Chain A
């Protein structure tokens, strides 16, 4: 029973995530990708005559079922069988983050930074709202995210997806080292 609550080793998670690619292909020739669902939801809720969003979103709703499943997977893994222990981080990372002002190391998100009250502070607004905006804007601009380019694109040996994936990581590394420490100090 205890095993159900434990986090999975990286190779187990990696294999299962990798197998989602053939599962979707074999089921109905679908290509793994998550960020396209953001566009689908925009097209469904508020297309506002924007050409980019004015299409028949109902023709391809498989990915909305797929992401509803991801949400349920999060519920099963993060609530029903939540790991009671903090994430087993490298102690050096804990030191770095503590120096930058992170005080909680429980769960999956630091509760002192990511909470409803903090949205009204500059720090919380940047991390939660501006960060989310850039994720949505950037993934659509790049026409894919970590799953569509980073897994599906790389696995089908498409060099443009490698360009995208490298850009994701360069952006993340640069902001983590140069911008995030300043934001956390606010």
Chain B
């Protein structure tokens, strides 16, 4: 049952990505050329909305459905944030898609994105394979 709700939140999230054109290769180009506020507008709305929600949850100590205290673990700094972040950025410029939009594009009928997605899986696997040899 709960999984159906996760699926439903995903549907709404994916619909917003798609209808907000955040899965458009063209929109990413526009963003990286600083020629439109559109994508920056999405980020600068989504982040404060999420931040305000987290603030309210913490302030009123709202618990999750099954009564658990909501905890958000810290994400510690490691150099991979920069090295991996840059590599992801390079790929983002090419594909015009982050992982979320990859799923949405496949759903939107862009079958060739299945190849991009498979390549992303291979990239993830390759990172796992060579993690021990990479600076962290």
Contact = CB atoms under 8 A, between A and B. Distances in A.
A and B are interacting partners: yes
Interface of A: 7-8, 10-32, 34-35, 37-39, 41-42, 46, 48, 50, 52-53, 61-63, 65-79, 81-83, 87, 89-90, 92-93, 96-97, 105, 107-110, 114-116, 119, 126-147, 149-161, 163-177, 179-180, 183
Contacts of B129: 48, 50, 52
Interface in B94-112: 94-100, 102-112
A134 to B, nearest CB: 3
B104 A70 contact: yes
A170 B89 contact: yes
9 contacts: A14-B44, A24-B6, A24-B9, A50-B128, A62-B6, A77-B104, A128-B95, A132-B123, A141-B88
Contacts of B15: 16, 73-74, 76-77
Interface residues of B, number: 115
A83 B62 CA distance: 39
A69 B68 CA distance: 25
A151 B54 CA distance: 12
Interface of B: 2-30, 32-33, 35-39, 41-51, 53-54, 56-57, 62, 64-66, 68, 70-78, 80-100, 102-113, 115-129, 131, 134
Give the 8 A-B residue pairs with the shortest CB-CB distance, closest first: A171-B89, A69-B10, A73-B14, A13-B20, A78-B108, A141-B84, A14-B45, A167-B85
B57 A73 contact: no
The secondary structure that dominates the B interface is: helix
Contacts of A138: 84-91, 123
Contact of A38 (B44, B46, B99): B99
Given A7-B19, A28-B65, A155-B47, A135 B92 contact: yes
A145 B49 CA distance: 19
Contacts of A134: 87-88, 90-91, 94, 123
B35 A90 contact: yes
A81 B14 CA distance: 13
Contact of A14 (B4, B12, B43, B75): B43
A70 B13 contact: yes
Given A18-B48, A93-B29, A175-B90, A133 B13 contact: no
A131 B115 contact: no
Contacts of B37: 10
Given A20-B12, A139-B124, A74 B23 contact: yes
A103 to B, nearest CB: 13
Contacts of B16: 8, 12-13, 16-17, 20, 73
A180 to B, nearest CB: 6
Contacts of A145: 88, 98-100
